Amino acid sequence: MLYLIGTGLYYLNDLPLRALEKLKNCDEVFLERYTNLNDISFLEQLENQIGKKIDIIERETVESELIIEKASKNKVALLIPGDPLAATTHFSLIAECKNRDIKTEIIHSSSIFSAVGETGLSLYKFGGTTSIPIYDEHFHPESFFEVIEENIKCGYHSLVLLEVRNKEKFVSALDAIQILKNIENKKGIPIVDWNNVIVISKLGSSDQKIYKSGNEEIKNLNPPLSLIVPGKLNENEKEALKFID
């Protein structure tokens, strides 16, 4: 049996209550953190509550046979930041379990995908999501801009996820904005409403920040970070954006 359990938007104890009962009954519990940098200071308390250790595992282990092998014999849970199936590749685990007749259950949770509603932008009006990866000497893709272009053409907002590997290695808000501005300049057609691009840091934490991209403070923001490039704004959305500095 495999449980995929979302731990929620930011803190490990954003975990749904229903998940606690499942975790108590599991033989083994794993936690992955490579798909987001959430706060796990609640880990020890959670281990005490469920009466077992929680193993933090890397991408290689999640993508190996290990979890599936264990789930074929025992009750296994994998804890995943946010919602387990939002912007992650974990459905492949479910598919593999289905192929092998291993039972699965998914416990959904709060996610950046719905929490961005806090900006006042309508979730009905978001188009495709895209992400900006960490650039290096040989890797500087620009294809994410095409998603934003397509969304803007249709009047849709774009949620832009910024890659984070750890507290030191992440795409900063300033870098992301500069990257987007460079690509837009290169294309030679101004399409982004820069006055209303929104920067979001650590949403759902006691230290969350939501700013317009022109705000000086954006240089000090910590991950996880996301941007919203607005599409066509309706009157309610224009009013809501007045609350953001």
Ligand X SMILES: C[S@@+](CC[C@H](N)C(=O)[O-])C[C@H]1O[C@@H](n2cnc3c(N)ncnc32)[C@H](O)[C@@H]1O
3-state percent breakdown (helix, strand, coil) of the chain, nearest 5: 40, 20, 40
- Cβ burial of 180 (10 Å; 0-12, 13-18, 19+) is buried
Backbone angles phi, psi at 49, to 5 degrees: -65, -35
Identified binder of ligand X from the candidate list 224, 228, 229, 230, rule CB under 6 A: 224
87 binds ligand X (CB under 6 A): yes
CA dist list (Å): 166 to 36, 37, 111, 172: 9, 7, 19, 12
157 binds ligand X (CB under 6 A): no
Dihedral of the CA atoms 130, 136, 140, 141 (nearest 10)? -40
Stretch that binds ligand X, among 109-117, 122-130, 136-144, 237-245 (CB under 6 A): 109-117
120 binds ligand X (CB under 6 A): no
Size, binding site for ligand X by CB under 6 A: 24
86 binds ligand X (CB under 6 A): yes
36 binds ligand X (CB under 6 A): yes
CA distance from start to end of the chain: 48
Identified binder of ligand X from the candidate list 5, 102, 162, 192, rule CB under 6 A: 162
* CA-wise closest residue to 81 among 45, 49, 40: 40
Least separation in angstroms between CB 81 and ligand X: 5
144 binds ligand X (CB under 6 A): no
Sheet holding 54-57: strands in order across? 54-57, 28-32, 76-80, 2-6, 104-107
Identified binder of ligand X from the candidate list 198, 218, 225, 229, rule CB under 6 A: 225
- Footprint (CB under 6 A) of ligand X, residues 2-31: 9-10
Least separation in angstroms between CB 198 and ligand X: 11
Residues that bind ligand X (CB under 6 A): 9-10, 35-36, 81-83, 86-88, 111-113, 161-164, 200, 202-204, 224-226
